[in-house]
Amino acid sequence: MQSYDAIVIGAGHNGLVTAAYLAKADKKVLVVERRPVVGGIVASEEIFSGFKYSSCAHSAGSFSTQVIDDLKLKKHGLELLPFNPLLFAPALDGDSLTITRDMGVTAEQIGRHSKSDAGKFSSFCLRLKALSAFLSTIYRLPLPNKAEPGSFNPAALVKIGWKFHRLGKKEMYEFLRVLPMSAADLVDEWFENDLLKAAVASGGMLGSFVGPRQQGTAFNLLHHQIGESNGALRTAGFVRGGMGNLSQALARAAQQLGVEIRTNAEIIKVITKNRAATGVVLHNGEEVNASSVISNADVKRTFFKLVEPTYLDPHFLLQVRNIRSRGVVAKINLALDGLPKFKNHQTAALGGIIHIGPTLDYLERTADDAKYGRFSTQPFLEITIPSIADPSLAPAGKHVMSVWMQSAPYKLRAGTWESQRDALGDAVMKVIGDYAPGFENSVLHRQVLTPLDLEDSYGLTGGHLYHAEMALDQIFFMRPVPGWSRYHTPIDNLFLCGSGTHPGGGITGLPGYYAAKTVLKSRARGK
Amino acid sequence: MYNYDAIVIGAGHNGLTTAAYLAKAGKKVLVLERRHVLGGAAVTEEIYPGFKYSVCSYVVSLLRPEVIRELELPKYDLEIIPLDSTFTPLPDGDHLLRSGDHAQTRREIARHSTTDAEAYEQYGQLMVQMAMAVKPLLGMIPPDPTTWNPKDLLGLARVGNHFRGLGEKLLYDLTKLMTASSADFLDEWFETDALKATMSASGIIGTFMGPRSPGTAYVLLHHYMGELDGAFRSWGFARGGMGTISRVIADAARHHGAEIKTQAGVDRVLVRNGRAYGVALDSGEEFEAKVIVSGVDPKRTFLKMVGTSHLDADFFKQVSDYKIRGSSAKVNLALDALPNFTSMPGKGPHLAGAISISPSLDYIEQAYDDAKYGNFSRRPYMDIILPSMLDPSMAPPGKHVMSIFVQYAPYHLKSGTWTEQRDAFGDTVVETLSEYAPNLKDIILHRQIVTPWDLEQEFGLTEGNIFQGELTLDQLFFLRPVPGWAKYRTPIKNLYMCGACTHPGGGVMAASGRLAALEILKDTNRTLL
């Protein structure tokens, strides 16, 4: 029987990060992946010949620069391409708003809609940048952890307290105030123009079950701005060669460090003896031993499918069951015969995020749909056309379009996703066509991934791309469940490293990174 | 040199409380009230002859025991009659009836779901524990988390220590309660929709949120912290109506020498060199005092009475950004007879408690959705009591008053004004309630509709928000009403705040009034004024 220092269940981007860091510390690591390719939702697929779709995720701008440097991902082929412009938000009447990397040009653009908003935009970006920078600082704060009682370090608290005070009185209060706010209230305090407010606030509802008028969405906005961002909007995100190249670069880095990766191999059980994990059982019956087992699968899947419940406290299982992971996102990938012609023909504006969501009310209504178990027929769409920055993704003159759609709730009250998939796809086509006449005629191929498809294909419980909702009661020391927020689990030697752990989703690589550190520390302690 | 030691603007229950405490400490106090009656939104008025309406607020639970004790309120005939039950009629003719009788409530819930009956016990115990955990915060001056000032650090340490002492499990439960939506929180405990809806309703009262909005579970607790006769969670009705509460506090204040003038509306706070020194009435008359205390919300206080010329740009922005969107309305009815509910026909103890129109979570959520987009709820949530069932003095014999608290009624309407929509709104309320009590329309003798506009115009509540500012996480504790000014003081020297816009927030508590008075006394004793 084979034996490793660590087995990672699932080669999602976090699992690969964990594996690489463990290998870097000279551990013998095996990664087992159910699918034929690595990467989980950070993947590219050529479903339609000649066109490379980024299957799920379509932006890597939040990926940790520390991980990129530590694992030398650039050497292994990772190249992040900037959004240019940052965002294009069309309105139905043909007007639009374009936000670019250049604050001067942007001020002019916004000024066409509101002089006062134009004057405030750059201060707004600076303010948000400072707040999200502080947020990423507190992400590093060691969190309470039942497996290591007393490990919640008061010294770390003092350090954070000091950094907090360094923000200055005004910023300190801003941070405390903004963190629980709604994104809509936040933008309402700064701006008057609807198109601008909606374009910024939508960043707070990505993957969220609630709309921008609900508390907690300002936190989401800040969370998504960590990384390549001007504060309010992400500035980069395309990966040359398709999103899958990020996962490929991670896999190459890991393999070069000695990690063994097996695809088309599924783990069906974690072997536990005396409340400790000792290895795994594969689908072919093969047993593999390991001193540590780290799961990149979502927390519910881990504990309800892979682990024997005998050793688990019923209260813990109840908490896991109560984790809210209601998927609200559908992904639509399209092969296009040419660029869409938005009213007033602004093809130069399509190299970043194309934002369909003209008002705060419009965005809020899409979230209402989720509440009542129906998909939005007037959805919020975050669209990119990565082939503009990277022509290798499609044949000459043609394009791939990646559409992130909300809301498409995992649980429908009427009908099934099988029967509604096409209706959803049609609704999305129609809405894009409302802004870009003739769009539907340019579509050569369409792939629609409903939350059910996301669950089936990628193993995401509830079809949730972040494994668990990023709500105020499911972050920090409450994520994935209160008391177990540092990658440990009630089973010794079994760890978690997916987006369902702190600091959450958004393709940062941080859960994987912090999980690896935790595994190494606990190994060093002799556990 | 000054006429008075302190002038209090507004004779709402908090303003009266501040006046009483200051007078008790030997200060010469004048309270100035715009209306012809005292009490602000805690008021009883005989709008229709023979029928006494608690025009705005209608139940009390959170009235601070230390205020009752320290001002000796029972001496002035304060009597609170407990509201023993909540009756939720359902559209299909069934109902849910919970009461102070635990056994009865358990059986009733078990009728709908046996697992819910089990859970209800545990849930109640947890909420009591959490209410006890949070209670000390209600009586505390919020420490400033942004300063190295030892007193504040000590305050923060005390808060931190208090929470650590709760133990891990309770701490996590409390965190969840503070951040989750009432629907999500209750979904983890119960399955019966009507039960969850009725319980979550207390989480949305006075807010611009729905049961699925994060941050509403917290308000569940706020309304659970009542201390009537030592029993948490009991709500009560003041004999004589809510005005009794204001009257007894006013009596206590007068007993200690405070002077109270009605029909004396304050137009301006007089400020010189950054210092408040008096007020000017609508009539032009002026009064001077060493200390001015505003019982009115911050927008009205600063943007109207103080005037923007005395405010620095940052503070002005903060006050302008303060969220105070009203979402509530009242409909008060004089009835010729008792309403007859299809779900429980005839007269019965269910009419002597609260009646909740909250048949499902979707129902309340849809009521909220209407408001989000600028309309009053087509099928509103209602919290109803018949005060005359508990206190016959409220109406002539055999007749009744009905107090209907309604949500949602957004202050900002997408089309039309509240004056134009008032009757349509009243009709919607009556129509909806008639679905549950079909005889209603036949027995209405008089109807008073108090819209958010009326709450603003008549009762001085900006945008009709009943808590003088929304109870959202970004406007609580050391952030209330605005960051840096959470200790009842303001950027204007000698000008203080004592209303629900200060910690601990809204509800008829008198907590703000008391804490403000204590802070004022600290300052005045320090400067030996």
What is the DSSP annotation of B128-156? HHHHHHHHHHHTSPPP-TT---HHHHHHH
**Encoded tokens for A417:** 């996703």
Is the CB of residue B347 less than 8 Å away from at least one CB of chain A? Answer: no
Q: pLDDT digits over A350-389, tens only?
A: 999 999 999 999 999 999 999 999 999 999 999 999 999 9
* B145, B172, B209 ranked by CB distance to A176: nearest: B145
Mean pLDDT of chain B: 93
Q: pLDDT digits over A202-254, tens only?
A: 999 999 999 999 999 999 999 999 988 999 999 988 999 999 999 999 999 99
pLDDT category of residue B221 using cuts at 50, 70 and 90: confident
Q: pLDDT digits over B100-141, tens only?
A: 888 999 999 999 999 999 999 899 888 888 888 888 887 788
Average pLDDT in the A265-280 region?
95
pLDDT category of residue A165 using cuts at 50, 70 and 90: confident
Query: Which residue would you say has higher pLDDT here, A99 or A168?
Result: A99
Q: Distance between CA atoms of A60 and A78, rounded to whole angstroms?
A: 10
Distance from the Cα of A313 to chain B's closest Cα (Å) equals 14
Residues of A with CB under 8 A from a CB of B: 144, 146, 165, 169-170, 172-174, 176-181, 185, 189, 210, 213-216, 322, 324, 361, 364-365, 368, 371-372, 471-473, 477-478, 482-483
Cis peptide before A503 (omega within 30 of 0): yes
Average pLDDT in the A35-64 region?
93
Q: Looking at the predicted structure, is the pLDDT value of residue A163 above 70?
A: yes
Q: Looking at the predicted structure, is the pLDDT value of residue A145 above 70?
A: no
pLDDT category of residue A153 using cuts at 50, 70 and 90: low
Q: pLDDT digits over B303-352, tens only?
A: 999 999 999 999 999 999 999 999 999 999 999 999 999 999 999 999 99
Q: What SS3 class is residue A496?
A: strand
Q: Looking at the predicted structure, is the pLDDT value of residue A152 above 60?
A: no
- Residues 467-486 of chain B whose Cβ lies under 8 A from any Cβ of chain A: 472-474, 478-479, 483-484
pLDDT category of residue B529 using cuts at 50, 70 and 90: very low
Distance from the Cα of B64 to chain A's closest Cα (Å) equals 28
Q: Which residues of B touch A174 (CB under 8 A)?
A: 483
Average pLDDT in the A147-171 region?
74
Q: pLDDT digits over B5-28, tens only?
A: 999 999 999 999 999 999 999 999
Q: Distance between CA atoms of A95 and B273, rounded to whole angstroms?
A: 50
Average pLDDT in the A329-345 region?
94
Token pair 């290895």 is found at: A279
0.90 exceeded by pTM: yes
Q: Looking at the predicted structure, is the pLDDT value of residue A472 above 80?
A: yes
Q: Do B146 and A482 touch (CB under 8 A)?
A: no
Q: Looking at the predicted structure, is the pLDDT value of residue B227 above 70?
A: no
Is the CB of residue B265 less than 8 Å away from at least one CB of chain A? Answer: no
Q: Do A177 and B479 touch (CB under 8 A)?
A: yes
**Encoded tokens for A372:** 């009542």
Token pair 């206080």 is found at: B301
Q: Where are the alpha helices (DSSP H) in B139-242?
A: 150-164, 168-179, 182-187, 193-204, 216-222
* B146, B176, B209 ranked by CB distance to A473: nearest: B176
Distance from the Cα of B95 to chain A's closest Cα (Å) equals 24
Mean pLDDT of chain A: 94
Residue A526, sorted as left (phi over 0), alpha (psi -120 to 50) or beta, turns out to be left
Q: Looking at the predicted structure, is the pLDDT value of residue B180 above 80?
A: yes
Q: Which residues of A touch B212 (CB under 8 A)?
A: 210, 371
Q: Distance between CA atoms of B288 and B23, rounded to whole angstroms?
A: 17
Handedness of CA A353, A358, A364, A369 (dihedral sign): negative
Distance from the Cα of A305 to chain B's closest Cα (Å) equals 22
Cis peptide before A55 (omega within 30 of 0): no
Q: Which residues of A touch B178 (CB under 8 A)?
A: 473
Q: pLDDT digits over B130-168, tens only?
A: 888 888 887 788 888 888 888 888 888 888 888 878 888
Q: pLDDT digits over B265-305, tens only?
A: 999 999 999 999 999 999 999 999 999 999 999 999 999 99
Is the CB of residue B149 less than 8 Å away from at least one CB of chain A? Answer: no
Q: Which residues of A touch B188 (CB under 8 A)?
A: 322
Q: Distance between CA atoms of A459 and A268, rounded to whole angstroms?
A: 13
Q: How far, CA to CA in Å, does B210 sit from each of A136, A305, B89, B468?
A: 31, 35, 21, 19
Handedness of CA B182, B183, B187, B193 (dihedral sign): positive
* B168, B314, B473 ranked by CB distance to A215: nearest: B473
Q: Do A180 and B472 touch (CB under 8 A)?
A: yes
Q: What SS3 class is residue A133?
A: helix
Contacts for B317 with CB less than 8 Å, ≥ 6 apart: none
Q: pLDDT digits over A23-42, tens only?
A: 999 999 999 999 999 999 99
Average pLDDT in the A500-523 region?
94
Strand partners, A445: A335
Angle separating helix axes A360-371 and B361-372, nearest 10 degrees: 170
Q: Do A473 and B184 touch (CB under 8 A)?
A: yes
pLDDT category of residue A393 using cuts at 50, 70 and 90: very high
Comparing C-alpha atoms, which of A340, A386, A66, A71 is closest to residue A227?
A66
